[in-house]
Amino acid sequence: MNPLIAGFNLKKESEKIIKFLKAAFAKTGLKKLVIGVSGGVDSAASLYLAAKAIRPQKILIAHLYYFQPHISLIRHLCSSLQIPPQNQLFLSIKKPVDELKKSLELTNQHLAINRIRFGNVMARVRMLILFDLAKKHRALVYGTENKSENLLGYFTRYGDAASDIEPISHLYKTQVFQLAKYLKLPPKVLKAKPSAGLWVDQTDEGEFGFTYQEADQVLYQYFDKKISVSVIKKHFPNAEKIINFSKKNQFKQVVPYCL
C-alpha cells in the first residue's frame, strides 16, 4: 500500500488548502488571482481549490499555448466554476517565442540542449505574461507546482516555478491526482498524461524514464523518512535513477547564491 495515499484525508486536505488561500489573500490585501491553466491535473485542481476560497469573479485564467490548445476543455472547467468569459484569456505564445527562438539561434531542435532551452523560453514567456496580468489587475500569480516536481528539480527557474502563492507545492503528484478525483475534475483532465507542453508529444514520465507512481514513493522514503537508497532500491528498481535525477538539479533549490 502506498503510504502517501493510505493516510491521505482528502476532505481535511482540501479544507486546509482553502483556509490557507483565504488567509493569504487577507494578508496581502489583494482580492484577485491570475492562474495559468494548461488543461492538466495540477492547474485544474489548483483552479478548483481557488474557486472554493474566493469568488469566481475574482479569478483570471490564462491559457497560454504554443502547440495544440485545449480551449473547449478549459472553457468547460471555467463554466463549471462560473468563471465569467471576460476573465478567460486564450492566447498563443507562438509569435513571441518564435522571435526569441530565432534571435537565440534555437532553430535546431534536434540538439537536446536546444530543446531544453526552447522549453525554458516558453515557460518564462508564459510567466512574463502572467505577472503582467497580475500587475494590470492587482492580483496574485497563482502557482501550480507540486512536491514531486520540486524535489526532482523538474521546473524552469523564473518560469513555471515563479509565483506569489502555491496551493499544492506540499503535495506529491499522486496525492494531487487523488485530490483531483475528490474534487470531481472532468475525466479528460484525470486521464491526460502529465506534460509541460514544451514540445510535440512531450510527457514528464517520458523525460524521466520512470513513473510518478514510483518516483513519489522513492522521494517520500528518501527525503521525508530519511531511508537510504540502498534500502529503497530493494523495493523500487529505479530508486538510484530517481535520486540521481533529483541530485543533479539540487542547485535549483538554493539559487541565487548570496554572500
pLDDT in the model for residue 214: 93
| Mean pLDDT, rounded, for 185-214 | 83
Cα-based torsion angle of the residue sequence 249, 134, 118, 113 in order, rounded to the nearest 10 degrees: -10
Categorize the per-residue pLDDT at 111 as very low, low, confident or very high, splitting at 50, 70 and 90: confident
The reported pTM is 0.92
**Residue with cell string 535549483:** 252
Q: Which amino acid is at 120?
A: N
Distance from chain centroid for Cα 140: 16
At 206-242, the pLDDT tens digits run 888 899 999 999 999 999 999 999 999 999 999 999 9
Question: For the chain, first and last CA: distance in Å?
Answer: 45
Taking the C-alpha atoms of residue 157 and residue 96, their distance in angstroms, rounded to an integer, is 19
Q: Which amino acid is at 130?
A: L
At 146-156, the pLDDT tens digits run 999 999 999 99
pLDDT in the model for residue 154: 92
* Alpha helices for the chain (secondary structure H): 3-6, 10-28, 41-53, 71-81, 94-103, 112-137, 147-152, 173-182, 187-191, 204-208, 212-219, 229-232, 239-248
pLDDT in the model for residue 205: 82
Categorize the per-residue pLDDT at 199 as very low, low, confident or very high, splitting at 50, 70 and 90: low
Query: Which residues on adjacent β-strands are paired with residue 165?
Result: 142
The CATH class of 3-204 is alpha beta
Domain ranges of the chain: 3-204
pLDDT in the model for residue 191: 87
Residues 127, 159: contact at Cβ < 8 Å?
yes
Query: Reading across the β-sheet that carries 32-36, which strands appear in turn?
Result: 88-92, 59-65, 32-36, 139-142
Taking the C-alpha atoms of residue 229 and residue 95, their distance in angstroms, rounded to an integer, is 45
At 16-51, the pLDDT tens digits run 999 999 999 999 999 999 999 999 999 999 999 999
pLDDT in the model for residue 145: 96
Q: Which candidate, 27, 111, 98, places its Cα nearest to that of 67?
A: 98
